[in-house]
Amino acid sequence: MKPRMLKLSLLAALMLSASACSSIKPWVKPYERDRLADPIMSWDRDAISGAYLDHIYESREGSRGATGTAGGGCGCN
């Protein structure tokens, strides 16, 4: 997908989302979110560690991106 196409798609999605704002009501109430707020539900509790592991993979694989986290040391000599 080209960057321009991606931007247009995102813009369209945002506009659709905004127009639907008034008709959608939150189906999970704030007082029902205690479990989701538990630290064990965090996508990535430790930034350095997550970045380090993702970077290990990225420097040894052809794939890259969309990890949410990545980076750190490389050493792919």
Partner 1 sequence: MRCVRLCGLLILALTGAAHSAVLPDDRADVFYSTYKGGGMDITGKSILVRKKFAESFSVQANYFIDTVSGASIDVLSNASVIKDERKQKSVSLDYIRGKTSYNVSYANSKETDYISDTMHLALSQDMFGDLTTVTLGYTRGWDKVSQRSGTAITPKGQADRRSYDAGLSQVITKNLLGSLTVEVITDEGFLNNPYRFTRYVDPTDGRGWNQQPEVYPGTRTSTAVTARARYYLKYRAAASVSYRYFTDTWGIRGNTFELGYTHPISNRWIFEGRVRLYKQGPANFYSDLFPRRDAQNFIGRDKDLAGSKNTTIGAKVTYAFLPEGWKFFKRGTVTLDLSRIQFKYDDFRNIKDYGIADGFAPGAEPLYKFNANVLQIYASMFF
CB 18, min distance to partner 1, A? 8
User: By CB under 8 A, what part of segment 1-60 binds partner 1?
Assistant: 1-3, 6-7, 10, 14, 17-18, 21, 24-28, 30, 32-33, 35-36, 38-41, 43-60
Site for partner 1 in 51-70 (CB under 8 A): 51-70
Instruction: State whether residue 61 is helix, strand or coil.
Output: coil
C-beta contacts of 38-43 below 8 A and 24+ residues apart: 43/68
3-state secondary structure of 16: helix
Q: How far is residue 23's CA from residue 33's CA, in Å, rounded to a whole number?
A: 22
Q: Using CB under 8 A as the criterion, which residues of the chain lie in contact with partner 1 when the complex forms?
A: 1-3, 6-7, 10, 14, 17-18, 21, 24-28, 30, 32-33, 35-36, 38-41, 43-77
